[in-house]
Amino acid sequence: MKKQETSFSFLEQFLPSGAWEQVSPFFCTHAIHLTLTHERKSILGDYRHPTPDAPYHRISINANLNPYSFLITLLHELAHMFTFVHFQFKAQPHGKEWKTQFRHILIPFMGKRFFPSDVEKALHAYLHNPAASTCTDSQLYKSLYRYDDHKPGFKLVDELSVNQFFETEDGQIYQKLEKLRTRTRCKHLDTGKVYFFQGIVEVKHVRGYKVA
């Protein structure tokens, strides 16, 4: 057990201060192969159950996550592991069994200053009905986004003021027109067409832009 615990101690640098002591027992009681990967835009982490060729639990996590996102993602994937251990193939990937396991594993980390107050408040709301990804909960996503390392000028659509301009990843320029309940109405400057953006989309704020 000591050898296995030592081999995973490098995780401490990716987690909030003091969290490793509470995470490490999971790696002592289960055979886990952990992989840290480059950024994947579609997922933050992944779990694969044991197979005859790979008789251990496999978890991968994006290494570029901030400490709070990293901890939540790690616990998310560990909840998949426990769901498989208890229910094998009888549970849906993010069904009630996983939701129960995730609550059970995450709640002991609450109220211990592992998370900033805004993240913890969003987590409390999220735990009522945890989703497949933190990206689907706008309040939790936005609270975690505040602690990411951002390139200069990049913001979420929700953080822009009405009438400000922004550039998307493909180089297109838009103007923010109106914030609706779940989306934001924006105008494409080249075509004048109106598009609807999710508020948690990251864009580059374009200052001093003038419409021709």
Q: For residue range 18-43, list pLDDT tens digits in order.
A: 999 999 999 988 999 999 988 777 78
Q: Are residues 42 and 73 in the same domain?
A: yes
Q: What are phi and psi of 67, to 5 degrees?
A: -55, -35
Of 26, 27, 21, nearest to 3 by C-alpha is 27
Position 163 scores a pLDDT of: 94
**Is 119 contained in some domain?**
yes
Identify whether 211 is part of a domain. no
Among residues 138, 136, 137, 172, the alpha carbon closest in space to that of 156 is found at 138
In terms of Cβ atoms closer than 10 Å to its own Cβ (0-12, 13-18, 19+), residue 204 is middle
DSSP state of 196: E
Range(s) of the domain holding residue 170:
154-206
pLDDT at site 132: 77
pLDDT digits (tens, 9 = 90+) for 57-105: 999 999 999 999 999 999 999 999 999 999 999 999 899 999 999 999 9
Q: Which token pair is 182?
A: 């779940």
- How many domains is the chain partitioned into structurally? 2
- Is residue 40 located within the same domain as residue 130? yes
pTM attached to this predicted model: 0.88
Do 66 and 131 lie in one domain? The reply is yes
